Amino acid sequence: MANLVQLRMLENLDGFLLVDKPVGMAFSTVVKTVKRKFNLVKVGHGGSLDAAASGLLVLLINDANKFVGDVMGADRTWSGEMQLGRRTNTGDSHGALLEERPVPADLPLETVLPDFRGDVFQTENAYCSVRREGSPDYEVVPTGPHKPFLSHVYRFDVELPRADGRASFTVSGTKGLLVRALVDDLGVALGCGAVLASLRRTTVGRYSVTEAIPFDRLLETPLGDFAALVRPLSEALAR
């Protein structure tokens, strides 16, 4: 049982908690679980993370929510894999198949990739795959009409595909960069199609997933040890 002193300390705790979210879990589940388990007054987040993606989720504890704009607006880095030779209506492996094409042996990656670095106009996919909280399955839902918007890609590196058509990639860019759409557009430019097969967020601003605690380990953390995991507000003030 938590003692009164520990509970009072957590009520007055302010800062940033870096969590490594697993694949298949809604980010909202992480937020609610942390708030409930550690008896916190307010827990926000510095940017959502799809259930199908893993990686860094920055949680804002109590007064750290005043800095939500700073964290939300920070640049991000991702790593993942794309499956070449397919297109779906969601841009990932959970959507309805639109077409399949063979992956050419002379894939023009180095010719095409420069067009996907720097300022890039993007349009969100007309459909997306979501996993409702408590549901084991992904559901394809319409996202509505969208207008093109400008993103900036600092880096987009793609390895040559393996025999199974999968290719690893790393991408970094500004807030709001749509990695699914980027992969989909690259597949169109390559002439064979591509879908996002896996995705992991590795950095948000100054924070890295290497500094984050895996969610399953967080669940095992005693109440008295939680404060040591929270990064101080002074990090944001010193930016």
Question: Hey, CA dihedral for 28, 29, 32, 37, is it positive or negative?
Answer: negative
14 belongs to the catalytic site: no
- Same structural domain, 8 and 116: no
Angle (CA) 133 134 137, round 5°: 90
pTM above 0.95, yes or no: no
Distances (CA, A) of 147 to 77, 90, 123, 153, 173: 24, 17, 6, 19, 19
* Options 14, 20, 50, 70, the catalytic residue: 50
Sorting pLDDT into bands at 50, 70 and 90, what band is 80?
very high
Counting the structural domains of the chain, the total is 2
- Same structural domain, 67 and 85: no
Q: Check pLDDT > 90 for residue 237.
A: no
Q: Which domain holds residue 153?
A: 76-203
- Same structural domain, 85 and 154: yes
- Same structural domain, 155 and 83: yes
On average, the pLDDT of the chain sits at 91
User: What average pLDDT does this structure show over 107-118?
Assistant: 96
Predicted local distance difference test score (pLDDT) of residue 135: 67
Sorting pLDDT into bands at 50, 70 and 90, what band is 57?
very high
Q: What is the CATH number of the domain that holds 231?
A: 3.30.70
Quote the CA–CA distance of 135 and 115 in Å, as a whole number: 39
Sorting pLDDT into bands at 50, 70 and 90, what band is 140?
confident
- Same structural domain, 94 and 188: yes
Nearest to 91 by CA among 199, 165, 168: 199
